[in-house]
Amino acid sequence: MWPGMRLIRGREFLMGCEDGYADEAPARRVTVADFWIEETPVTNAQFAEFVAATSHVTLAETAPDPHDYPGMLPEMARPASAVFVRPTRRHAQPHPSQWWRHVFGADWRHPLGPTSRIDDRMDHPVVHIAYEDAAAYARWAGRALPTEAEWEFAARGGLEGARYAWGDELTPQGRIMANYWQGEFPWDNTLADGHAGTSAVRAFPANAFGLYDMIGNVWEWTVDWYGSAREALPAQPCCGAAVRGPAAEEESYDPTTPSLRIGRKVVKGGSFLCAANYCERYRPAARFPQPIDSPTSHLGFRCIIREQQ
């Protein structure tokens, strides 16, 4: 028995989705073994304990090395992270550069910038966490980060093929079930769920496995490298079609920036910024490629313990 964790009895399940984003297909049968998973994302309070015990310095608190980023201006070699800033007007052609800001001094202790604090957010998910920070915490805690399949199986809560973690209706009986964007992203947030940013980790209902915030609030790291192609392999005479397994690091590189060979991991669950009109990824099947060196103000993690550990 692990306090604050739930035992998930593994089995075969239907992973992925045929009517979501292209990289969610094909829907396929996948098997996971038994594992324990934390009921909530790692909070600011929990991460603070880790930092106090280890003196860990996160990537967002570390100045980047210009040699790792060809062409980087010298004045950019300062600790920083990406922070969402809501635009004040509608743009005819929305682009992430209109709402993401590279903020010097933004990190897990200062989620909105150097003058912000987490004193009243200790029960919120820790954010501005790069992959190496999440992995370091997991090692310290004697745990691990989940695979994409483990994460998705846990998020589904035993609901086979359901669109959301609670069923096929986004707001059953008008009830908002997770922290995501209501209104027209990125300029109009109606705040129908009461939250402009992250929320306390138990602010919304748990799924059927007793897990909170598997959908919305913050994106969560998995150990799997991102592969954009999830196509089925040619059918075998005896077995039917097989599906390609997890991608290799080289497959995860962003093809739009060939000079930067930075691996991207799969993140899951969506965040408080996901919206029906822009990023409908507040679903178990949804996935996104996140560069391992890119912490943000809506990115956190949770840990697991595999039964064989």
pLDDT at residue 245, rounded to an integer: 66
Query: pLDDT class for 269, splitting at 50, 70, 90?
Result: very high
Q: Which residues are CB-contacts of 214 (< 8 A; sequence separation ≥ 6)? A: 151, 154, 155, 157, 165, 207, 269, 284
pLDDT at residue 309, rounded to an integer: 58
pLDDT at residue 258, rounded to an integer: 87
∠ CA 185-269-103, nearest 5°, is 55
pLDDT at residue 131, rounded to an integer: 98
Work out the mean pLDDT of the chain and round it to a whole number. Answer: 93
pLDDT at residue 235, rounded to an integer: 43
CA distance 264 to 128: 16
DSSP helix/strand/coil, 247: strand
The answer to whether residue 230 scores a pLDDT higher than 80 is: no
pLDDT at residue 1, rounded to an integer: 74
Q: Comparing 46-50, 119-123, 229-233, which segment has the lowest mean pLDDT?
A: 229-233
pLDDT at residue 234, rounded to an integer: 43
CA distance 291 to 184: 27
CA distances from 256 to 57, 66, 259, 260, 264 (A): 30, 20, 9, 9, 13
pLDDT at residue 239, rounded to an integer: 42
Contact predicate 62/107, CB 8 Å: no
As its CATH architecture, domain 1-42+126-309 has Alpha-Beta Complex (3.90)
pTM: 0.94
pLDDT tens-digit series, residues 67-93: 889 889 999 999 999 999 999 899 888
pLDDT tens-digit series, residues 187-197: 999 999 999 99
Arithmetic mean of pLDDT, 4-33: 96
Q: Comparing 138-142, 163-167, 227-231, 300-304, which segment has the lowest mean pLDDT?
A: 227-231
- Which tokens belong to 56? 């860990």
Query: pLDDT class for 260, splitting at 50, 70, 90?
Result: confident
The answer to whether residue 6 scores a pLDDT higher than 70 is: yes
Arithmetic mean of pLDDT, 247-274: 94
Query: pLDDT class for 238, splitting at 50, 70, 90?
Result: very low
The answer to whether residue 242 scores a pLDDT higher than 70 is: no
Contact predicate 113/83, CB 8 Å: yes
The answer to whether residue 161 scores a pLDDT higher than 50 is: yes
DSSP state of 183: S
Q: How many residues does the chain have?
A: 309
